[in-house]
Amino acid sequence: KNQVEQSPQSLIILEGKNCTLQCNYTVSPFSNLRWYKQDTGRGPVSLTIMTFSENTKSNGRYTATLDADTKQSSLHITASQLSDSASYICVVPRVGGYQKVTFGTGTKLQVIP
Amino acid sequence: NAGVMQNPRHLVRRRGQEARLRCSPMKGHSHVYWYRQLPEEGLKFMVYLQKENIIDESGMPKERFSAEFPKEGPSILRIQQVVRGDSAAYFCASSEGQGENYEQYFGPGTRLTVT
């Protein structure tokens, strides 16, 4: 069964600290893995797209890693800011399109002063 | 280049009324997806449309729900005879092409409340 599991479900960190979010998947065949940020009351915004051949990709203070062998990805946030408070969702669409893809609830991150 | 537009942002309907949700994709995008998000849950795929065609509606309830994406104008998600369980946030996304390698861009959503 194709699944995506994220951990932790929720996380509270102090402003300025780093954190790492995890995503394990069993979707096969694999095409790409995406990390989204969803602010409360807003639509998801794409942070990174990881393909099979990519191990690490950075987008500002966000760094995503991918281990295709173990089917694991992580999203590392450096020097967190209050505006990083949001849900972070890992999505692994099936080959063929976004149809039938369910976005999980992700990891709910709260950055406190 | 404006992003994906959705309107209204908030919609209140009484049980039994109709709800019409509109989505204008990004310029140059001819692929539109609708998702529903219940409180504290993830987005769930409802329907995928290209101009004038429904490609996949497997995630959409067969009764009371319909979607269209006409040649001209926005995509419309229509919910007839709404019930309280239809209360949710409805998100539209658009992409330039078909398939998982194309980026999806999401709109701000329409929050439907059924009283």
| Closest chain A residue to the Cα of B41, Cα to Cα | A105
* Interface contact flag, B33 A98, Cβ < 8 Å: yes
pLDDT (tens digit per residue) in A64-107: 999 989 999 999 999 999 999 999 999 988 776 666 666 777 99
The CA distance from B8 to B23, in Å, is 9
Using DSSP, state whether A112 is helix, strand or coil. strand
The CA distance from B69 to B22, in Å, is 10
Residue A97 has what pLDDT? 66
Using DSSP, state whether B42 is helix, strand or coil. coil
Contact indicator for A62, A75 with CB cutoff of 8 Å: yes
3-class secondary structure per residue, B70-106: CCCCCEEEEECCCCHHHCEEEEEEEECCCCCCCCCEE
Q: Of the ranges A17-21, A26-30, A82-86, B31-35, which one carries the lowest mean pLDDT score?
A: A26-30
Contacts of A96 in chain B (CB under 8 A): 99-100
Q: Of the ranges A6-10, A28-32, A69-73, A79-83, which one carries the lowest mean pLDDT score?
A: A28-32
Nearest-neighbour CA in chain A from B40: distance (Å)? 7
- The answer on pLDDT for B1 being more than 60 is no
**B109 Cβ under 8 Å from any chain A Cβ:** yes
Residue A98 has what pLDDT? 62
Nearest-neighbour CA in chain A from B44: distance (Å)? 5
Contacts of A106 in chain B (CB under 8 A): 42
pLDDT level of residue A4 (50, 70, 90 thresholds): confident
Residue range A47-68: average pLDDT?
A: 92
pLDDT level of residue A2 (50, 70, 90 thresholds): low
Contacts of A5 in chain B (CB under 8 A): none
Contact indicator for B15, B114 with CB cutoff of 8 Å: yes
* Interface contact flag, A45 B56, Cβ < 8 Å: no
Using DSSP, state whether B4 is helix, strand or coil. coil
* Interface contact flag, A101 B103, Cβ < 8 Å: no
pLDDT level of residue A29 (50, 70, 90 thresholds): confident
- The answer on pLDDT for A33 being more than 70 is yes
The phi, psi pair for A83, rounded to 5°, reads -70, -5
Which of the residue ranges A1-5, A25-29, A101-105, B71-75 has the most confident prediction, judged by mean pLDDT?
A: B71-75
Residue B39 has what pLDDT? 85
How do A107-112 and A10-14 pair as beta strands?
Answer: parallel
For testing contact with chain B, the best of A98, A102, A105, A108 (most B CBs within 10 A): A98
pLDDT (tens digit per residue) in A35-48: 999 998 899 999 99
Write the DSSP symbol of residue B39.
T
pLDDT (tens digit per residue) in B64-108: 999 999 999 999 999 999 999 999 999 999 999 887 778 889 999
pLDDT level of residue B25 (50, 70, 90 thresholds): very high
Residue A16 has what pLDDT? 97
